């Protein structure tokens, strides 16, 4: 089998050179995070932040370590205007006078981190926007709609380390090859089947769901005797990266809706570094990504840590769920 590296693949897509270098920096950060995740139990970095190890050294949880790695590896990129991280309250400006053409990178350094202690898949999510004008380094300047993303992706730290990216020309999956250190193309042109009989939702929140979500899941659970006239399977990884990776591989829908338990925040998942990049990937793979009322990428951000309802995956099923919301 011909082995195509991430760089070769980006060349074949005529990816802009500055964007290519930025994606390579992100891929390097992800390889380094993968290494730390794999050694977590030995390095004493699982569990809560700011505890002390037996030597009296301060330990940091992997969320924080992953963020530091990302800042260190990606932060000095000469075309980077700002980093926006789940782990950092303020926008991390890398230029005092950001110019048109510079990039803003939004990222969740470690997604699904509650899974670390139980040795299940976690990941890193990123979204890249290119500024279309010179800007002043104010927080409002990074509140840019998901439709403006020029690239998005995630790394998944599972049995193997994977990297799934889009630069707006479909979605491609790479696997880290330990011998060469390269990400090699293993899942070209990932495509989500339009129909599915599998949903992913944290059903322990049933009592808090809004009526359309409750009705949709009730109808799925009624199987062949219900209005959907088919039997549904269910999965929930509690790691969005792992759930989306499954959906990109074999279809399905993922829901983390706004409910009475998270309504004050606007939902659970964050728009700019969780929902938008996953929405771009899913749409580029032929799926759909909705708040229930419209495309996630059309949501106008009002804050860089804003939260949002997320319903994404197989496009016909997402349309069905939107139908419940219209009703």
Contact residues for ligand AHG, defined by CB under 6 A: 86, 108, 111-114, 202, 238-240, 256, 268
Nearest approach, Cβ of residue 15 and ligand AHG (Å)? 27
Q: Which listed option, ligand AHG, Mn ion, none, makes contact with residue 91 (CB within 5 to 8 Å by class)? A: none
- Cα 214 from Cα 203, distance rounded (Å): 10
Query: Which CB atom, from 154 or from 216, has the smaller least distance to Mn ion?
Result: 154
Cα gap 71→82, rounded to integer Å: 10
User: Mapping DSSP to helix (H, G, I), strand (E, B) and coil, where does residue 262 land?
Assistant: coil
Cα–Cα distance, 249 to 164 (Å, whole number): 11
Query: Shortest Cβ distance from residue 247 to ligand AHG (Å)?
Result: 12
Q: Which residue is nearest to Mn ion (CB)?
A: 111
Q: DSSP assignment, residue 74?
A: H
Nearest CB to Mn ion, comparing residues 25 and 108: 108
In whole angstroms, the minimum distance from the beta carbon of 112 to ligand AHG comes to 4
202 binds, among Mn ion, ligand AHG, none (CB under 5 to 8 A by kind): ligand AHG
Q: Report strand pairing: 198-200 vs 233-234.
A: parallel
Residues in region 102-131 near Mn ion by CB under 5 A: 108, 110-111
DSSP-derived secondary structure letter, 57: P
Binding track, positions 248-267, relative to Mn ion; x by CB under 5 A: --------------------
Q: Which stretch binds Mn ion (CB under 5 A): 79-87, 161-169, 278-286, 318-326?
A: 79-87
- Closest contact distance (angstroms) between CB of 250 and Mn ion is 22
Q: Applying CB under 5 A, does 243 fall inside the site for Mn ion?
A: no
Cα-Cα-Cα-Cα torsion 112, 113, 115, 119, nearest 10 degrees, comes to 120
Nearer to ligand AHG, 25 or 86 (CB): 86
Q: How far is the CB of 202 from ligand AHG (least distance, A)?
A: 4
CA angle 113, 162, 245 (to 5 degrees): 70
Determine how β-strand 80-85 pairs with β-strand 103-111.
Answer: parallel
Closer residue to Mn ion (CB): 67 or 259? 67
Query: Which residues are CB-neighbours of 186 under 8 A, at least 6 positions away?
Result: 162, 173, 174, 175
* CA distance linking residue 156 with residue 296, whole number of Å: 22
- Going across the sheet that includes 310-313, the strands are 233-234, 198-200, 253-256, 310-313, 288-290
239: partner contacted, choices ligand AHG, Mn ion, none (Cβ within 5-8 A by kind): ligand AHG
The residue sitting closest to ligand AHG, measured at its beta carbon, is 240
Closer of 126 and 256 to ligand AHG (Cβ): 256
CA–chain centroid gap for 33, Å, is 15
DSSP lists the bridge partners of residue 289 as 312
> What does the binding site for Mn ion look like in residue numbers (CB under 5 A)?
86, 108, 110-111
């Amino acid at each position: 089998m011909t082995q195509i590296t991430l760089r070769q693949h980006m060349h074949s897509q005529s990816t802009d050179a500055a964007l290519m270098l930025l994606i390579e920096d992100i891929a390097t950060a992800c390889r380094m995070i993968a290494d730390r995740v794999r050694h977590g139990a030995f390095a004493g970095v699982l569990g809560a932040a700011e505890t002390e190890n037996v030597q009296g050294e301060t330990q940091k949880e992997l969320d924080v370590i992953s963020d530091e790695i990302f800042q260190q590896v990606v932060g000095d990129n000469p075309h980077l205007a700002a980093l926006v991280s789940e782990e950092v309250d303020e926008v991390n400006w890398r230029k005092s006078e950001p110019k048109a053409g510079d990039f803003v990178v939004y990222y969740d350094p470690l997604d699904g981190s509650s899974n670390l202690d139980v040795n299940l898949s976690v990941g890193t999510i990123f979204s890249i926007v290119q500024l279309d004008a010179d800007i002043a380094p104010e927080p409002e300047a990074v509140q840019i709609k998901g439709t403006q993303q020029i690239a998005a992706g995630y790394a998944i730290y599972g049995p193997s380390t994977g990297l799934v990216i889009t630069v707006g020309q479909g979605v491609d999956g790479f696997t880290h090859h330990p011998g060469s250190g390269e990400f090699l193309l293993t899942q070209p042109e990932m495509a989500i089947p339009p129909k599915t009989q599998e949903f992913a939702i944290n059903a322990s929140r049933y009592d808090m769901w809004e009526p359309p979500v409750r009705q949709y899941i009730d109808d799925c659970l009624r199987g062949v005797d219900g209005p959907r006239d088919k039997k549904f399977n269910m999965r929930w990884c509690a790691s969005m990266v792992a759930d989306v990776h499954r959906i990109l591989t074999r279809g399905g829908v993922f829901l983390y809706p706004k409910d009475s338990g998270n309504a004050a925040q606007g939902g659970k998942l964050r728009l700019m570094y969780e929902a938008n990049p996953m929405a771009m990937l899913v749409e580029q793979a032929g799926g759909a990504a909705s708040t229930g009322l419209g495309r996630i990428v059309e949501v106008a951000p009002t804050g860089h840590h804003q939260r949002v309802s997320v319903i994404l995956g197989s496009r016909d099923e997402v349309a069905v769920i939107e139908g419940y919301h219209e009703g």
